[in-house]
Amino acid sequence: MGMKITFYESTDLEASVNSIDEFVSSISSNSVSIHVVNGEVVRFVKDLLKMKPIIQLKNCRFSFNNGTSFVEVDGKGNVKDYESGEIPEWYESPIEIVRAQWIMNNGFSNLTISEYLSAFIKRFPDLNSRREYADMLFDLQLNKIGILTKFSLRKIRGNTARKTTKSKVTELHSFEIFCQFYERLKTAVYEDKFPTMKILLGHDNLNEVPSPMKGAVRTWFKGITGQLPPNAKRVDAGNVVLFCAPIREKLFYIEEIGLETYYGNLSKAISETGKDTRISDFNFSSTKK
């Protein structure tokens, strides 16, 4: 029985298969089991699926339209269409795919459980950082856990600990995730749209996005533009063309030196600045090599 290969149509993930030729090659791949496809490939697949059975797509699974429609082809080319609202057990959400990608990028994928736990603790000796990344990886939803118990007589309000609530610099150490952020930023500014956090993260509900993801996006945006992502007040003020023009100049420069080179320099600067540095205080400039 061949390896099952899953293809995702998702606006939250950067497409890794962008042509029919790449799609055909990916079907015979024995190393990668998950691919994200673009619109051209989706149209091609849907045309093929009209012919049943379809031996060319045997052992392939498809998630269309951001996980709202699913199709599975068995080893004999027989097609199974899932009913509306039915979610197959093999489906992974975009954040689950990002987690898996992060684990592989950081060299954790081949470790035993005990080795993974040991390596994870060593990687994040700071307790707050460890909590944030654990929240992203295991969906602990720590930000939703309240401290109010049945023995509490009143709610505690305000910043009683007198600690800063301003965001600290964050780095995910993932070039793939950075590329997804960069493409959303580039698309927004070239279309003269304010690159808000919702646009940069590709998610309408920011409460559902893990804190490290939001922190990294704010940090990357500050490193590139020298300012924080526009909030509602800045958007309401208007003048989007004036806001986007200087960012486009930054993107020209980034692509001139190479996106991967730029990210390597930016990531190094973030790591060296210290985890207690506020994003508002972080500044970065990259030079050509």
Predicted confidence pLDDT, tens digits, the chain (289 residues): 467 899 999 887 778 888 888 898 888 776 668 888 999 999 999 988 888 788 889 999 999 998 899 999 998 889 999 988 889 989 988 877 777 777 776 777 777 877 878 888 887 787 777 777 777 777 666 555 443 333 333 333 333 333 434 678 988 888 888 988 999 999 999 999 999 999 999 888 887 777 888 889 999 999 999 999 999 888 988 889 999 999 999 999 999 999 999 999 999 999 888 778 899 899 998 754 4
Clarify whether residues 41 and 81 are in a common domain. Answer: yes
Report CA 259 to chain centroid distance, whole Å.
Answer: 17
Identity of residue 92: E
Note whether residue 29 is domain-resident.
yes
**79-81 and 69-73 as β-strands: parallel, antiparallel, unpaired?**
antiparallel
Asked if 252 and 186 touch (Cβ cutoff 8 Å), the reply is no
Pairwise CA distance, residues 209 & 202, whole Å = 10
- Residue 44's SS3 state is helix
Q: Which of 144, 164, 183 is the last residue of a domain?
A: 144
Note whether residue 193 is domain-resident.
yes
Pairwise CA distance, residues 163 & 47, whole Å = 58
Clarify whether residues 135 and 207 are in a common domain. Answer: no
Which tokens in the block code for residue 128? 């707050």
Place of tokens 């956090």: 197
Note whether residue 166 is domain-resident.
no
**79-81 and 34-36 as β-strands: parallel, antiparallel, unpaired?**
unpaired
Note whether residue 287 is domain-resident.
no
Note whether residue 289 is domain-resident.
no
Where in the sequence is the domain holding 45, given as residue range(s)? 5-92
Note whether residue 164 is domain-resident.
no
DSSP string, 167-233: PBP-----HHHHHHHHHHHHHHHHTT----HHHHHT-S-GGGS-HHHHHHHHHHHHHHHSSPPP-HH
Q: Which of 60, 92, 124 is the last residue of a domain?
A: 92
pTM: 0.52
- Residue 130's SS3 state is helix
Residues in the chain: 289
Note whether residue 161 is domain-resident.
no
Q: How many domains does the chain have?
A: 3
Place of tokens 């300012």: 227
Note whether residue 126 is domain-resident.
yes
| Exposed / middle / buried, residue 175 (Cβ in 10 Å: 0-12, 13-18, 19+) | middle
Which tokens in the block code for residue 216? 């990294």
